Structure formats: structure tokens, C-alpha cells
Amino acid sequence: MSEQHSNFAMTIKNNYTSAALFSLTLFLVSVNIFGQNNSYKFIEPNISISYDSNRFQITNRYSNTSNETESYDFEFKPDTVNKVNISISANHPIDFPPIKTRDSLMLLSLSEIKNMENDSFAIVSYDKHVRDINGFGCLGFVGYDKTKKEYATLISCFHFSPNDYTEMKYVSTNKNNLDGDYEILKNFLTDFKTYSGADITNEENHIKSKYTVIVLPSKTTTNDFQHRPKTFVGIVKIKEKLENTIKEVRLTNDFGKEIFSPEANGSVPIICNDKEKGKVVKKGELVLLNSFGKSVKIPFTFSYDNNGAR
């Protein structure tokens, strides 16, 4: 088995093992009585989902700024007592095994969970084959804590293509209904898309070619910055008519990068607090969202005369 295939198998096994050790809490899933309300979320670096926000809501976002990747946690809203959790993580595409090899590795990892059965834990049902949900290969099982007399369900799903490598984990507790959990997962995954490197590059080049970043000094500052020491106060904005959404400005300093959020008019207030006296040259990135929500970073520089903090 190659190193990549071995790592893939270990990832699957770790997912299943974490569920077998999941701390169980009691909850009840109720029936959704709302109409559909579609929401869209792009997940860095290369995927998007459209989901019914009357049924699912985002509870957590995790970001790896060095790899430019994201993960999101969703909960199933019709569960008014406790929670069904769905976690989806996007990553850069990797040369993973063919579908048949993937399925074999997933089945092997799931079968090993049976070895965890003991006097206090049992597997009451599990998939005998990999299920396909909108291009995701999925396997799940229901475990039973004999001491607490509670159930836990885990479904692990993987999607990989020339555009992406995506992992998804579904966890519910106190439900002995694997097929019912799959129905919730199918409702969540009705619209999943990936974006190629060419799609991303073309949009990035177009955005970078049409915008010019300018930095203007300002005599006033926002309430957020009033009590902070500062050697420069400014506004970052686009010279041309703004047709994209500004996500943030990242300004390089001695500790890495500080992030500044935009105001309603599209301008971004910034401050600096530099030790170097005289002319100071600063580097930054204006981050915009392209047509499908991916971040596009436009680098910029500016300078100012540092006469000391105020």
C-alpha cells in the first residue's frame, strides 16, 4: 500500500474511532415544518454548498491561514432538544486512489471498529457497502453504550477529484436509525460544487486587473481603535467602482498579519503602531470575494512618516 493510501486509511480509521469514543448526550430529532430557504457557502479553497437554512445552520468556522483552507460545522435545526452535527472540511486536491481502492480502504477501516466491542460498547448496525451521496463515498455505523444505554451514529464521507479533497463527518446521538440519519445527510448535500484551478485563476486575474488599491491617511479613527497606541491611521479602499465584496484587509506587522474589517461603504479603516522612526514602508493585502465566494488577495504597499505613537 502506498504512503498516500495508508494515510487515507488512517484518516478513515481515526474518524470511526473518534465516534466510537464519542461522549453521548441525550437528544430527540423533531420534524421540520418550515419551507425551504436556500443559502450558499463557499469553503476555501475550492468547494461550495447550497443548503436549506431553515433546516441547517452554521455553528462554527475553522480557518488555516497558512494552507488557506476552511472547515465548517453545521447543526440540524429541527432538532429542538439536542443536536445532529455535520462537519465539512475542504482541502487542496491530492492524488488519491481510484474509487474501488477508496471503497476497499473505507470498508476495511470500518470493519476494524467491530474489534472495539466489549462489555460496555457494541456495534448495533453498520454499512456493508459504500453509499454514494452526490459524489461522496460514505460509510456509517450505530454504536451503543451499554452503561449509559445510549446510541451514537457516525457517518464518514469523502469526496476527491482533480479539483478537491473534501471530508465530511456526520454525528448524532440516541438514534438507532442509520437510514434515517442518511436521509438528513442527503438533504444537506443536495448541491455540492467544486472549482478547478483554471476557474479560480481566471477569476483572480480578472479581479486583479480591474482594481487599484489606495491608502489614504485619516485624522479620525473608529471607536475600536481609539484607545490603542498608533503611529498611522488610514483608510484602504478601491479606486475604481467596487463590483465585488471586500472581505478584509491583512496588514503585515512584526507579529505576522493583523486583519481589519470593512465598513458598510466598502472602505477599510486601518491603524499602524511601528517602532521604526522616519519613513516606514508597509505591506498589505486587500481580500475580495470573487463571483463564487473565493478569496482573492490584492497585494499593496504604502508609506508614511512615523513621528511617534499618539
Q: Are 120 and 145 in contact (CB under 8 A)?
A: yes
pLDDT at 11: 67
In angstroms, the first-to-last Cα distance of the chain is 62
Confidence of residue 256 (pLDDT cuts 50, 70, 90): confident
CA distances from 58 to 74, 87, 307 (A): 4, 10, 45
Cell matching residue 194: 467544486
pLDDT at 26: 29
| Residue predicted with more confidence, 83 or 130 | 130
- Residue 45: is the preceding peptide bond cis (ω within 30°)? yes
Range 200-306: architecture per CATH = Sandwich (2.60)
Q: Tens digits of per-residue pLDDT, 38-59? A: 899 999 999 999 999 999 999 9
Q: Is this structure's pTM higher than 0.85?
A: no
pLDDT at 109: 79
Could you give the CA distance from residue 188 to residue 86 in angstroms, rounded to a whole number? 9
| Residue predicted with more confidence, 94 or 306 | 306
pLDDT at 62: 95
pLDDT at 255: 82
Closest CA to 144 of 188, 108, 176: 176
Range 3-195: architecture per CATH = 3-Layer(aba) Sandwich (3.40)
Measured in whole angstroms, the distance separating CA 294 from the mean position of its chain's CA atoms is: 12
Closest CA to 154 of 21, 30, 27, 5: 21
* Cα Dmax for the chain: 73
**From-to residues of CATH 3.40.1000 in the chain:** 3-195
**From-to residues of CATH 2.60.40.10 in the chain:** 200-306
Could you give the CA distance from residue 286 to residue 214 in angstroms, rounded to a whole number? 10
